[in-house]
Amino acid sequence: MGGWAIAVHGGAGVDPNLPQQRQEEAKQLLTRCLNLGISALRSNLPAIDVVELVVRELESDPLFNSGRGSALTAKGTVEMEASIMDGCGRRCGAVSGVTTVKNPVSLARLVMERSPHSYLAFSGAEEFARQQGVEVVDNEYFITEENVGMLKLAKEANTIVFDYRIPALGLETCSAVVESPIQMNGLPISVYAPETVGCVVVDSQGRCAAATSTGGLMNKMTGRIGDSPLIGAGTYACNLCGVSCTGEGEAIIRGTLAREVAAVMEYKGLGLQEAVDFVVKERLDEGKAGLIAVSSKGEVACGFNTTGMFRGCATEDGFMEVGIWD
């Protein structure tokens, strides 16, 4: 075992003209979350506790697309989803379509630990949340003024807003807006908001865990489920590694991206970074995505084929890095 390691992400697919202030805010949040996780690891918290702790912090900050600040559906509401997985025994839990749960990742963990199931959605997930006594809030808590404005823009435009948090003012000169919309499953979509959040951890005992949380796509159809709550697609952990993905959900689902990292490590004998690079190159077809990963040996890796990915990582030997671009 090579000691503990942690990685966090705030989404893949970043506009190259993202204002400097926004970049700094993102880096500060990622750094804060890394330090939170590092402190927990130094206190010998198990990996599963650390990923939940860090993702809760990300969900509570409106900067990225999860929890408060989640992307809005076409009806102007928030439908969130999350998953968590413990590499010890491959235990997992996931939720979709939650509208009042303040921290969806914690509800996902309760599904794992206090229900006979692995995945609950919509009214069933909400009912379970109330049975478990988790903190709930009005749906309005998750809605920000900025996202209301971006949803309005999405409905009026036939273009893609890759970073939906770009201020509407001056948008006509921002390269986040392009004339040719990208497609999902062969159909054009009007707005793509890839700022899912996630965390992967290996603790000092070599135990791996992963968690992912998102509000999904801006202007998405109500009822749409992406990769983030799907075990093996957006999230995966086993005795070899922990993986959290972000980006074009439909492509991640088709490629079972997170599980593929573990599979090529196990069956092809690839190292962690080799496995990440292979999966990003060979399993996304024409999709755009990124991922973070840790191994049970204390390694950390990331990979993406988008313009950038909000990310940070640290290891027990003192290495720490926060970045956005290549």
Rounded average pLDDT over 148-162: 69
CB contact at 8 A, 243 and 258:
yes
Return all residues near 161 (Cβ < 8 A) that are at least 6 apart.
150, 153, 154, 171, 176, 177, 191, 192, 193, 218
223-275: per-residue pLDDT in tens?
Answer: 999 999 999 999 999 999 999 999 999 999 999 999 999 999 999 999 999 99
CB contact at 8 A, 294 and 209:
no
Binding positions for substrate are: 224-227, 246-249
**Of the candidate ranges 39-43, 96-100, 170-174, the one whose mean pLDDT is the lowest:** 170-174
CB contact at 8 A, 76 and 138:
no
Residue 196 falls in the annotated catalytic set: yes
**Residue 223 tokens, joined:** 């009822």
In Å, what is the CA distance from 52 to each residue of 104, 107, 108, 205? 10, 10, 10, 18
Q: Which of 100, 159, 173, 196 is flagged as catalytic?
A: 196
CB contact at 8 A, 242 and 293:
yes
CB contact at 8 A, 112 and 84:
yes
Q: Is the dihedral of CA 130, 134, 135, 140 positive or negative?
A: negative
Q: Which residue has the higher pLDDT, 301 or 185?
A: 301
pLDDT for position 283: 97
Q: Which residue from 306, 316, 317, 319 is spatially nearest to 9, judged by alpha carbons? A: 306
Domain map of the chain by residue range? 5-140+192-316
Q: Which residue has the higher pLDDT, 220 or 42?
A: 42
CB contact at 8 A, 104 and 97:
no
- pLDDT of 162 > 50? The answer is no
Task: Indicate the average pLDDT of the chain.
Answer: 90
Rounded average pLDDT over 72-89: 96
pLDDT for position 175: 37
Q: Which amino acid is at 18?
A: L
Q: Could you give the CA distance from residue 241 to residue 295 in angstroms, rounded to a whole number?
A: 4
CB atoms within 10 A of CB 266: 14
Q: What is the DSSP string of 246-270?
A: EE-HHHHHHHTHHHHHHHHHHHS--
Right CATH for 5-140+192-316 from 3.40.50.300, 3.40.50.720, 3.40.50.12280, 3.60.20.30? 3.60.20.30
Q: Could you give the CA distance from residue 50 to residue 215 in angstroms, rounded to a whole number?
A: 21
pLDDT for position 238: 98
Percent of the chain with pLDDT over 70: 88
Q: Could you give the CA distance from residue 113 to residue 303 in angstroms, rounded to a whole number?
A: 31
Task: Measure the CA angle with vertex 301, ends 299 and 303; round to 5°.
Answer: 165
Q: Which residue from 228, 202, 186 is spatially nearest to 71, judged by alpha carbons? A: 228
192-222: per-residue pLDDT in tens?
Answer: 454 799 999 999 999 999 999 999 988 888 9
pLDDT for position 320: 98
